[in-house]
Each structure stands twice: as structure tokens, then as C-alpha cells.
Amino acid sequence: MSDDRRRRFEEAYLDAYERILGYATRRCDSPEDALDVVAETFEVAWRRIDDLPPGDQARLWLYGVARNVLANQRRGNLRRHAGQAELSEDIANLYARTAPPAERAGLDAVGRVFRALSDDDRELLSLVAWEGLDAGEIARVLGCSRNAARIRIHRARRRLSRALAAADVETPLMSRPTRIPTGGSL
């Protein structure tokens, strides 16, 4: 491997390792599975170094690879564990451990609603909330146009909002002030 190709790989690795590890950790059942996803993601990057885009695009390309590795891992797990409950993500439980008791019930309800969403909706909302990606970046991760990503995100948010309302879960974003201040200090 040429020095330039090795340098490109090392730069991408150093730039994206922690983010890809976080991405995988939030989606895997165990830290070991997350490390396997990260290792396989960077193995693909090493093998396909000529496909690795330059600069910040490399990180987004690696998210796409990690997403595919996770999909393959999940399919393998489902084949090995046929009959077990569907794999799900635990968005609210991550924070419920540190939340005051009064907030835990609401977070549990949000978690149940989130887990009831389709896999695609959970993935889109997780890319926005956990990974902090915008529509353009998500488009590159998913391999679709920016407009398609924006529409998918909008629809996923709308379905989440409707599901939360149907479950009678009120979130800070859903609640409306009873009166609007007319002046003075707040």
C-alpha cells in the first residue's frame, strides 16, 4: 500500500473512530458487538481505500459502511436467534438511569413509543438526535438525495409526534404555553 493511501486511511481512522464507535455502541446489545462493528467498518475502509472519499466525506462514508455492517450483524443475529424478541433500541433507557423518579415514567413511555416505530424511522431519528447529522449528511449515509432525506426525517418526526400524542405522552416540545408574555422580564 502506498504511503498516500496509508495516510488517507490513518487520517480517516483518527477523525472518525470515536464517532463510529459511539454510533455502533448505541445500536448494539453489547460493547463487544459494537467493537466488532467498528473493526469490520475500518476493515472495509482498508480494503476499499480507493473508494474512501476525501475530508469530512470520509466520516459520512464510514457511517454508511457501519450502517451496512450493523444490518448484516442484525440479520445474522436474527438467523441465530430465531424465535427471540425483535431487536430494539433503547433511546429513553439510556437517560432514565440518571433521571429523577418523576421523569422516569415519561422517559419509559417515550422509549416504548420510540421502540414501536419502524426500524427506518428509529434509524433516521437516531442519526439526527444521537449522531447530530443534518439532512445532507444523512442523505450521504443513506445514499439518497438531500430532499429525500429531509422528507423522510420530516415524516419520521411526524409519526413519532403522532405516536407520542396517541400514547398521551407530553414532551416539552409538544406542550404549549398557556399565555404569551406581553413584555417586561421573564
Q: Given this model, what pLDDT does residue 180 score? A: 35
Q: Given this model, what pLDDT does residue 155 score? A: 95
CA-closest candidate to residue 5, choices 62, 57, 48, 49: 49
Q: Given this model, what pLDDT does residue 130 score? A: 87
Could you tell me how many helices (H) and strands (E) the chain has, helices first?
A: 8, 0
Which residues, other chains included, contact 22 with Cβ-Cβ below 8 Å and sequence gap of 6+?
Answer: 130, 131
Report helix, strand and coil shares of the chain as percent, to nearest 5: 70, 0, 30
Q: Pick out the chain residues at pLDDT < 70.
A: 1, 79-106, 171-186
Which domains, ranges and CATH numbers included, belong to the chain?
Answer: 3-80 (1.10.1740.10), 99-166 (1.10.10.10)
Which residues, other chains included, contact 37 with Cβ-Cβ below 8 Å and sequence gap of 6+?
Answer: 24, 27, 28, 66, 69, 70, 73
Task: Round to whole Å and give the CA distance between 9 and 84.
Answer: 39
The dihedral sign for the CA sequence 162, 163, 165, 171: negative
CA-closest candidate to residue 67, choices 48, 40, 88: 40
Q: Given this model, what pLDDT does residue 168 score? A: 84
Q: Given this model, what pLDDT does residue 75 score? A: 83
What are the C-alpha distances in Å from 107 to residues 21, 50, 112, 169, 170? 25, 44, 9, 9, 10
